[in-house]
Chains A and B, each alone.
Chain A
């Protein structure tokens, strides 16, 4: 159980709050938020979690929280922390159950009016081609152990070699769609069994595929560099590593509770369990986590291929006519080895981002060459009724080059269902020009727009704090969900 400590903080910049060291904290906390967001952040125990993370061995810099912070398990959702690659720890709770849950954005050569008459067909086409909801899968895709090994060790590259997408896609995926260090031998039989039929599936809850269009451009030059223009049709895919990653995280938490004891690491909360990065437990988790991250890259690569096929089938267009190309694919639940400038010194860190997005700035070698002059695209999905944002990373070293990942719920699922009463959310969205299809009516109600915070508040805080700058806003037209 998290310690009941009241967390004190002070505002140090318009969108930055500092949590001073106290108790067992090895470093300070930093929360990036507007005063209005800080009001709601205080309401849960997430600030205690920022302080708890600051207690872990080997933490470098500060324990950071993005403006969409809310309480998670162990680490808060929206948490970013770097640990020394030699002396620090690695923690499955700092990544989360859905390893490499992430977002992929594609842009097309079509304009909103080109698909206006075909929205219903596009939606049902997507729904038919992309398995959504619990237990649903395509009968033409089930992995044997040797294919699974290749998929998780090679990542998106493997998917392209199997005909899912094109070679150029790989240039526009974080880490080019393959986290180095993945090892199928570190993956348990159970994770393989739970995940093998779930490759190429969306899942349920907040995962979605959304066709939309750019309705506002904030930075013309950067939008042009990304290949985004007003009125242009886009597609967003939000999903992760499915049961494969959940199982790896779950099993590792049990092992790491023991490991933390073995290495004498005292835990303010059991879900913060961790092990030294170089220990057998730490190395094994990294190899398994990287495998799940690659599984997620493959998953989004396959689904993107089916999005393209749906456009071709429904609209009768050739690939060069719809022009659907990757703008970017970002992870928002991940631990990675990165070099950062800390107090004037380059250091190798294991950066944990849980509900946070990498946001590297202009000139960084990890940013795709085509975007390098302006910075890395940062994708921030909102709810299915309002909008999502494309930002560009500023490479702020204070957050180890990180920004926010989404809106976050404001109503629980039960509250949402109660609030909706007899309303038809499907009809309400249709009245706003948005077509939605989902496996269950309940999911649509639980995921209704007002169940989420307004993502523009989060994005404004990130923009104001100089972590990432607003580039474009995307409006939904067609959504499929679990």
Chain B
């Protein structure tokens, strides 16, 4: 796989393995993976934009913290994103734009209560131009 994501089967929790042809695309695929765990992405319309900027210790930390921001928007602010674009990805900072809409109980449901994004075993690796990482979520 060059670009995409798939769920990882995990005894107690859940995970996503994602792939991309660049680190930016890897991050965007992880975003899609997380949203697919939480909700039905097809039911979310890209009506509003939100800028998300996060600092971290390194790329792995950035990935965890960025996905953590997405989770917070969904669970604490009841705002569901369906698209993410990474504008700038450094070693210690990411800038991105999310598109989505406020949670509407008539059309949306949150399938799963994800407590947090973990650092468990997380390593971003590159092999032949394909970037890959597995992220485990605490349920």
Contacts and interface: CB of A to CB of B under 8 A. Distances in A.
A83 interface: no
A409 B11 contact: yes
Given A254-B65, A257-B61, A1 B121 contact: yes
Given A254-B65, A412-B9, A271 B119 contact: yes
A2 B121 CA distance: 7
B47 interface: no
Contacts of A270: 119, 122
Contacts of A1: 121-123
A8 interface: no
A253 B119 contact: yes
Interface string B37-57: 000000000000000000011
Interface stretch (B16-24, B26-34, B82-90, B110-118): B110-118
Contacts of B119: 73, 253, 257, 270-271
Nearest to A271: B119
B120 A205 contact: no
B10 interface: yes
A482 B116 CA distance: 18
A415 B9 contact: yes
B116 A250 contact: yes
Contact of B75 (A243, A253, A257): A243
Contacts of A97: 115-116, 138
Contact of A271 (B10, B11, B120): B120
Interface in A402-436: 408-415
A414 B113 contact: no
Secondary structure call for the B interface:
loop
A204 B113 contact: yes
Nearest to A240: B115
Nearest to B14: A413
A243 to B, nearest CB: 6
Nearest to A418: B9
Contacts of B1: none
A70 B113 contact: no
Interface string A1-27: 110000000000000000000000000
A258 B7 CA distance: 30
A1 B122 CA distance: 7
A247 B113 CA distance: 13
Contacts of B12: 70, 77, 408-409, 412
Given A134-B110, A190-B72, A246-B115, A412 B121 contact: no
Contacts of A134: 109-113
> Chain B: interface residue count, which band?
35 or more
A204 B38 CA distance: 13
B102 interface: no
Contact of A205 (B109, B113, B116): B113
Nearest to A253: B119
A413 B72 CA distance: 23
A398 interface: no
A77 B11 CA distance: 13
Contacts of B117: 250
Interface string B113-139: 101111111110000000000001011
Contacts of A203: 113
Nearest to A408: B12
A250 B68 contact: yes
B76 interface: yes
Contacts of B121: 1-2
Nearest to A270: B119
A97 B136 CA distance: 13
A277 B25 CA distance: 40
Nearest to A243: B75
Interface string A207-244: 00000000000000000000000000000000000010
Interface string A141-185: 000000000000000000000000000000000000000000000
Interface in B51-104: 56-57, 61, 65, 68, 72, 75-78, 103
B9 A410 contact: no
A414 B113 CA distance: 16
A249 interface: yes
Contact of B138 (A73, A190, A247): A73
A190 B65 contact: no
Contacts of B111: 134, 440, 442
A97 B116 CA distance: 7
B117 to A, nearest CB: 8
Given A97-B138, A257-B119, A258-B57, 7 more contacts: A98-B115, A194-B75, A204-B112, A253-B119, A257-B57, A257-B61, A410-B11
Interface of B: 7, 9-12, 14, 56-57, 61, 65, 68, 72, 75-78, 103, 105, 109-113, 115-123, 136, 138-139
Interface pairs A-B: 7 shortest CB-CB: A194-B76, A270-B119, A246-B115, A97-B115, A134-B110, A204-B113, A250-B116
